[in-house]
Structure 1
Amino acid sequence: MAEKSSETLVVFDCDGTLVDSQHNVVASMREAFQTQGLSSPDEQSIRNCIGLNLDEAVLQYLPDPSDTKLLAVLVDAYKAAYFRRRQLPDHDEPLFRGTVETLRALHRRGVKMAVATGKSMRGLKAVVHQHGLEGFFVSLQTPDQNPGKPHPQMLEKAMRDAGAEPANTFMVGDTSYDMMLARNAGCIAVGVSWGYHNDQELQESGAKYLIHDFEELINLVLPL
């Protein structure tokens, strides 16, 4: 690994990496299509697109990809459905095991952290607030201000905010889009096996490391 010439930065994806939100994503996408009298995409197809910008994800399921009016309607319907689900008393998007312990361990050792996600800023801030993660991240990057994954801009902005260089920046995610994002930004791609794309997809899309438990990330970023 390269000698430390700048801040060490760990950038996390959100859905499928920090929090398990697939049930809400799947339900909201199905509801959006049902409001327009359309057949709902199947669960696996929806899971495969988690991590993309919302409009890009919805586009995968349109009967006519050139129908921009329907695309806009479905995107708005999805946002409304997800917002309604977030207000329910039993709303749940649990953190994956070891998330808080890992964030605390990295924070104690002076590692800078950020998030780069396909989630909206409103949705990301809701997750951060729900789980009391305020104070851990020096940068929150979403498609509200950037092109979506795998365009490198979200990582470039996070590195600029943290004072980090690509050689000392780890992009941690569960999808091929995260691995391609890391590759496009020249960063270190770390795939997690507990998310929404399988190990083979992660490796084929550029994962330099594959971890099966958050504790492995601590040892990877902070070697003995």
Structure 2
Amino acid sequence: MAYRLVLWDFDGTLADTGADVWRSLAWAARSCGGALPDSFMADDRNLGLSVAEIHRRIEPYPGDGSLDRYDRLVTTHYRGITDYPSTALYPGIEALLRDLHGLGVVNHIVTHKPRQALERILAIKGWTGLFEGWDCADQYDDGSPSLLKTLMVRSVMERRGADPADTVMVGDTFGDIVAARANGIDSIAVTYGDGDAELLRDSRPTHCVDGVDELADTIRKGL
């Protein structure tokens, strides 16, 4: 085993994006005449809910007919208004990416985040050069999160001519681990992000780490 391709989930794995996502969701709620409860926004696991589920938590509830408008407002704010003031790479991630790049390892993002939003974040933050490429969910046909990420991982590996033995997926959700297993590659689950740590461990990843230092050690052992 010698990892030559590292596939990275973005939100909750590479970067702490939760505060800025909540900011857009809350802005859209205010624009619809309501607000999201503080107690609801205090739990980042709720970011895994669909827009429709989050919309139903607006108080006072603006009605089912406002869902499409709410969805558009969230998109407008997150992709075009905010400059992501709170989004940051987790401490140690940038150094790890640069170290791996220097060793000839390819760092490629595989994320459910829309391409427009991801590329805007990378440009604003000056992170574009840290990666050799990225694949986003809206480049693919719709499907369940796990199935969609499975297809994305397969596509990246095929385009790069990657051997499964030389590839590893790093992510903070059950779907990341399922996608890795479906493609016959190693997986590293990270518990420091947005995902449910217990569910991650139950998903039987190849490795499970609690911090970036441990993540770096695990990847380097596979080089």
User: Fold match, TM over 0.5?
Assistant: yes
Give the Cα–Cα distance (whole angstroms) in 2 for the partners of residues 118 and 105 of structure 1. 26
The equivalent residue for 2:60 is none
Amino acid of the structure 2 residue aligned with 1:31: W
Partner of 1:104: 98
Give the structure 2 partner of residue 48 of structure 1: 45
1:169-204 Cα offsets, whole Å, 9 max, x none, are 211112223223323333322111211123212112
Higher mean displacement: 16-25 or 129-138: 129-138
1:127 aligns with 2:124: no
Question: 1:175 aligns to what?
Answer: 173
Code of the residue aligned with 1:81 in structure 2: it is H
Could you tell me how far 1:44 is from its partner in structure 2? 5.0
**Which structure: greater helix fraction?**
2
RMSD over equivalenced CA pairs, Å: 2.8
Distance in 2, matches of 1:24 and 1:134, equals: 19
1:60 matched to 2:53? The reply is yes
- Partners of 1:69 and 1:143 in 2: CA distance: 26
The 5 Å alignment of 1:206-221 reads: 206-221=204-219
Instruction: Report the 3-state secondary structure (helix = DSSP H, G, I; strand = E; otherwise coil) of the residue aligned with 1:222.
Output: helix
Gaps of 5+ in 2: 57-62
Distance 1:198 1:180 in 2: 15
Query: In the aligned structure 2, how far is the partner of 1:44 from the partner of 1:182?
Result: 30
- Could you say if the C-alpha distance between residues 186 and 38 of structure 1 is closer, same or farther in structure 2, counting changes exceeding 3 Å? farther
- Asked if the contact 2:109/2:131 (under 8 Å) is kept, the reply is yes
SS at match of 2:137: coil
Q: Distance in 2 between matches of 1:157 and 1:136?
A: 21
2:138 aligned with 1:144: yes
Worse-superposed segment, 68-77 or 94-103 = 68-77
C-alpha distance in 2 between matches for 1:49 and 1:142? 21
Of 14, 21, 24, the match for 1:25: 21
Deviation at 1:62, TM superposition (A): 4.8
- Write out per-residue CA displacement over residues 25-82 of structure 1, whole angstroms, 9 at most, x where no aligned residue: 112112223322355261156x2254x6xxx72133354xxx9964432221111222
Q: Displacement of 1:97 after TM fit? A: 0.5
Number of equivalent positions: 210
Contact 1:139 1:162 in 2 (8 A): no
- Mapped to 2, the partners of 1:117 and 1:69 lie a distance apart of 30
* In structure 1, distance between residues paired with 2:65 and 2:9: 30
Give yes or no for contact 1:183–1:206 (8 Å, CA) kept in 2. no
Q: Identify the residue that residue 156 of structure 1 maps to in structure 2.
A: 154
Change (3 A) 1:38 1:9: same
- Which stretch shows the higher mean deviation, 129-138 or 194-203? 129-138
Distance 1:71 1:8, change over 3 A: farther
8 Å Cα contact 2:55-2:70 kept in structure 1: no
